[in-house]
Amino acid sequence: MRFLALITILMVGGLLFYGTPDFPAWGDPESPASLHVSPYYIEHAVEDTAVPNIVTAVLADYRGYDTMFETAVIFSAGIACLFLLRIYRRKSTTTRLYRHNLTGITLRIAKGGKLPEGSAEFERIDSLWVPYDMIIKVTSRLVVPFVQLFALYVIAHGHHSPGGGFQGGVIFGAAIILYAISNDLRRAFRRLNEKAALLASAAGVLLYAGTGLMCLLLGGNFLDYSKLADLLYTDAIMARSHGILIVEIGVGLAVMAVMVSLYYNLSSAGRHDEGL
């Protein structure tokens, strides 16, 4: 069986190598892509979509299908990681650890004991809990808002400069991961819990696909944003620009949520307690 697989791989690889010389040379100005595809984008992107950054216009408008399914791939990667790693059945622990925040005393409460749940003075911790480092905590508290602001800037400024949903979403996710590292997982769950992260990742893809469907309902092709002009109170060209922004926000939401959910699952090996 393994031998057959090797033969197949060698044959397919040989075919690929056989086909490679027929490609146009690297950067060949006479190649069909440079003669028929790129010039249209370079000449018409601004007048079609009012977006100065041609890369963004191609990514989210002319080739919107491609980006939509890329977002779907990221979403399914997050879901696959969840299915592979997440452990819902808890080990039946006989004791739970609670930390008194003011004095730093840890209480070990046996099964059946009264739990200080919902008390502001006690905090549930795990056996791998590490004391907070004040320098790291204060610095991350200082930096996280700026990182988040920069992420929103990258998403919103994708029309004019390098950036867009993927990059901004990753930066936003990194901000939340930084918060989770510098504090602990239970505190990060209080800001963005698992359910919210998964819902946000699905909502991002839905926002993208829903925008496309809306164009379909308004009488255009799928993802033809110019048909949104009446909804957005603009002309057809600006509607394409705004449509790009809407789908970029969807991409950013999905990427951010998937990053955070991947971190939650990988860092604690699916148990969602203090793993690192």
Alpha-carbon distance of 229 to 238, in angstroms, equals 8
Which two structure tokens, joined as six digits, stand for 187?
């505190």
Stretch that binds another protein, among 2-10, 140-148, 162-170, 200-208 (CB under 8 A): 140-148
Minimum gap (Å) between residue 264 Cβ and another protein: 20
Judge whether 256 and 173 are in contact, CB under 8 Å: yes
Which two structure tokens, joined as six digits, stand for 185?
């997982």
The residue type found at 16 is: L
State yes or no: residue 110 binds another protein (CB under 8 A): no
- Cβ proximity to another protein, 65 vs 146, nearer residue: 146
Of 106, 146, 191, 266, the residue at the interface with another protein (CB under 8 A) is 146
> Phi and psi dihedrals of 115, rounded to 5?
-90, 135
Strand order in the sheet with 95-100: 106-110, 95-100, 122-125
Of 1, 25, 84, 135, the residue at the interface with another protein (CB under 8 A) is 135
State yes or no: residue 143 binds another protein (CB under 8 A): yes
State yes or no: residue 66 binds another protein (CB under 8 A): no
Residue 174-213 contact track with another protein, rule CB under 8 A, x = bound: ----------------------------------------
Number of residues that bind another protein (CB under 8 A): 8
Alpha-carbon distance of 255 to 200, in angstroms, equals 9
- Using DSSP bridges, classify how beta strands 106-110 and 122-125 pair: parallel, antiparallel or unpaired: unpaired
Of 28, 121, 133, 230, the residue at the interface with another protein (CB under 8 A) is 133
Q: How far is residue 21 CA from its own chain's centroid?
A: 37
State yes or no: residue 128 binds another protein (CB under 8 A): no
Which two structure tokens, joined as six digits, stand for 2?
């393994």
Q: Which of 176, 156, 153, 150 is nearest to 249 (CA)?
A: 156
Minimum gap (Å) between residue 17 Cβ and another protein: 41
State yes or no: residue 132 binds another protein (CB under 8 A): no
State yes or no: residue 161 binds another protein (CB under 8 A): no
List residues near another protein by CB under 8 A.
130, 133, 135-136, 139, 142-143, 146
